[in-house]
Amino acid sequence: MLLERVDVNPDQAEIDYGRTPLYWAAEEGNEGIVKMLLEREGVNPNQADTHCGRTPISLAAEKGHEGIVKMLLEREGVNPNQADTYCGRTLISLAAERGHEGIVRMLLERVDVNPNQADTYYGHTPLCRAAEKGHEGIVKMLLEREGVNPNQADTHCGRTPISLAAERGHEGIVRMLLERVDVNPNQADTYYGRTPLCWAVEIGHEGIVKMLLEREGVNPNQADTHCGRTPISLAAERGHEGIVRMLLERADVNPNQAVTFYGQTALSWAAGNGHAEVVKTLLERADVNPNQVDTYYGQTALSLAARSGHERVVKILLERKDVNPGQVDTRYSRTPTQ
């Protein structure tokens, strides 16, 4: 009724956020209204709001309104790579994060869509977004598209798709990425300097840790650059006994490798946090030194366990004849009994 009047402006935007009728119809998924508005002369399908720079097609892609996205893409002049001004998110980035497979497929069928375009806020690519959220179907589609870089890291923390998927526990996506010979499983982020293995170990994703350790070339001793934490030290601190055992089964894992921040070993971390089963598992390995001191306080695993009141750990350590119960630390000159 309103569109039949010549004095009604169908493209008039709100004063506060600059949103047009087409913007609202696209966001709410009202296909009939979108069609009516697009048939009216003077309606700009690319008009972005003044708050975040979001266009009607951007909202439709995020909300999963396939019919509206299709309708707008068929309209001459609609830019499928137009990013918003708030975070620099493109249509494919928004659809990939939300898991809208149909829309991602529609966009990837176009040769003018850039599947590697990163946002300006965190520098995440569509592949990063999909990998982090666990959308296997979308990850598969993106990896099949020529030119998609599976190692492209974000610009905020330097996290790669496999790093994000490993931390979140998305086994299917990690497996998919590891099947590609061009994926670097040792690529560390730029914030903590952690590898995908470190992230999976810390959270306790045993299946992913197993997959990564089976991949040729994965370094099980690669420490982060923040504190020098190794995979086994992270697993020991968190009490992930299964992962500690998995790592110790490898002859190339160094269980005595100390972190650079406090100089604690995996045994020290486990003892200080009261993880008795992890302590037992570590002591089963012949080359584990139960008397190795940290570089900050000069304390042994026994000293750390005693200080924190972990009786069971203390008992396990004292059962070994090679443990020195009278070893004095270098900071306070105290023995475990003191």
pLDDT digits (tens, 9 = 90+) for 81-93: 999 988 899 999 9
- Tell if the pTM clears 0.95, that is, is over it: no
Virtual torsion, Cα 294, 300, 301, 302, nearest 10 deg: -160
Write down the pLDDT at residue 160: 97
Residue 144 lies in a domain: no
Residue 264 · residue 303 · CB < 8 Å: no
| DSSP state string for 31-83 | HHHHHHHHHSTT--TTPPPSSS---HHHHHHHHT-HHHHHHHHTSTT--TTPP
288-333 pLDDT tens trace:
999 999 988 889 999 999 999 999 999 999 999 999 888 888 877 8
Take residue 250 and report the two structure tokens written for it.
């490898």
- Per-residue pLDDT of 195-220, as tens digits, reads 999 999 999 999 999 999 999 999 99
Looking at the predicted structure, is the pLDDT value of residue 32 above 80?
Answer: yes
Would you say 295 and 263 are in contact if contact means Cβ atoms under 8 Å apart? yes
- Whole-number Å distance between alpha carbons of 62 and 40: 25
Residue 38: pLDDT band with limits 50, 70, 90? very high
CA distances from 112 to 116, 127, 211, 252, 291 (A): 12, 17, 36, 48, 63
CATH number of the domain bearing residue 314 = 1.25.40.20
Percent share of the chain, pLDDT over 70:
100
Do the Cβ atoms of 302 and 290 come closer than 8 Å?
yes
Give residues with Cβ within 8 angstroms of 242, minimum separation 6: 206
Average pLDDT, the chain: 94
Decide if 151 is inside a domain: no
In a domain, 324, yes or no: yes
Contact 239, 282 (CB under 8 A): no
User: Does 294 fall in a domain?
Assistant: yes
Full residue range of the structural domain in which residue 334 is found: 255-338
Split at pLDDT 50, 70, 90, the class of 265 is very high
Domains identified in the chain, total number:
1
> Tokens at residue 193, please?
């300097």
DSSP string, 273-321: TT-HHHHHHHHTSTT--TTPPPSSS---HHHHHHHHT-HHHHHHHHTST
Q: Is it the case that residue 337 has pLDDT exceeding 80?
A: no
- Asked if residue 60 belongs to a domain, the reply is no
Summarised one tens digit per residue, pLDDT across range 113-155 is 999 999 998 999 999 999 999 999 999 999 999 989 999 999 9
Tell me how far CA of residue 123 lies from CA of 92, 127, 149, 165, 307, in angstroms. 14, 11, 14, 16, 45
| Residue 222 falls inside a structural domain | no
In a domain, 36, yes or no: no
Measured between alpha carbons, how far is 247 from 264 in angstroms, rounded to an integer?
Answer: 18
Which residues lie closer than 8 Å to 207 by C-beta, 6 or more apart?
171
Cβ–Cβ under 8 Å, residues 165 and 132: yes
Q: Are 152 and 128 in contact (CB under 8 A)?
A: yes
Evaluate whether residue 3 is within a structural domain: no
Confidence of residue 246 (pLDDT cuts 50, 70, 90): very high
